[in-house]
Amino acid sequence: MRLPFRKSQALRQVAGSENDYLTAAAIERLKKDLHNLEKSERPMAVEDLSVALAKGDLSENAEYQDAKSRLSRIDGRIFSIKDRLKRVIVIDESVSSTGRIHIGSTVVLEPGPGVKRTYQIVGPRETNPTRGRISHLSPLGAALLNHTAGETIELDVQGGTAKYKILEVK
């Protein structure tokens, strides 16, 4: 007999600890979300479920089914956030004493003459390239790790090789 396997279990096994890097601001947002779910949304969902339950016949009660699935989604989200908070690794955003780029560093790059781009190296759950936040697992983020200001890195791209000069590490 084969045991049931949930998608969340598969993602947790694949994710490992490298996906658990979060900034202090992201951790605070998760805690606020958890507090809101536990103190506001879940009690309302429980009340809706009990009202629907009081209406009788559960087999044909769409309101009951809806309230039950809503409560289940909220409980799943609460479990997910608590699990993530247990395994989180806080990103140290301070400048390294050696000047090397690490997770949490902010880097000013020159991808071409006269062009400057600023990126912060973060964990995969916080990436947003349009806002200058790239993952340490991305090709550029991985190539930048352990380099210092003044160095030039080369990155293989589809059209050949891209060169980035590291102007500053904050």
pLDDT higher than 60, residue 110: yes
More confident site: 15 or 24 = 24
- Strand-strand pairing, 115-122 and 133-135: parallel
Rounded distance between C-alpha atoms, residue 124 and residue 22, angstroms: 9
Is it the case that residue 102 has pLDDT exceeding 50?
A: yes
User: What pLDDT shows up at residue 8?
Assistant: 60
Question: pTM for the complete prediction?
Answer: 0.77
Say whether 121 sits in a helix, a strand or coil.
Answer: strand
6 band by pLDDT with thresholds 50, 70 and 90: low
Percent of the chain beyond pLDDT 90? Answer: 70
- What the chain holds in terms of domains, given with CATH numbers, is 19-90 (1.10.287.180), 106-169 (3.10.50.30)
The type of residue at 164 is Y
Answer whether residue 14 shows pLDDT above 50. Answer: no
Nearest to 16 by CA among 75, 66, 89: 89
Q: Quick check: 18 pLDDT over 50?
A: no
Residue 110 near residue 116 (C-beta atoms within 8 A): yes
CA–CA distance from 23 to each of 52, 61, 82 (Å)?
Answer: 41, 44, 16
In the predicted model, is pLDDT for residue 68 greater than 90? yes
Residue 29 has pLDDT above 90, yes or no: yes
pLDDT at 133 over 80: yes
What mean pLDDT do residues 106-119 have? 94
- pLDDT category of residue 2 using cuts at 50, 70 and 90: low
DSSP code at position 38: I
Measure the CA–CA gap between 70 and 146, rounded to whole angstroms.
Answer: 46
pLDDT per position as a tens digit, 116-131: 999 999 999 999 999 9
**Mean per-residue pLDDT over the chain, rounded:** 88
C-alpha closest to that of 64 among 48, 43, 40: 48
Mean pLDDT (whole number) for 86-112 = 89
Residue with the larger pLDDT of the pair 98 and 51: 51
pLDDT at 157: 87
- At 127 the three-state DSSP class reads coil
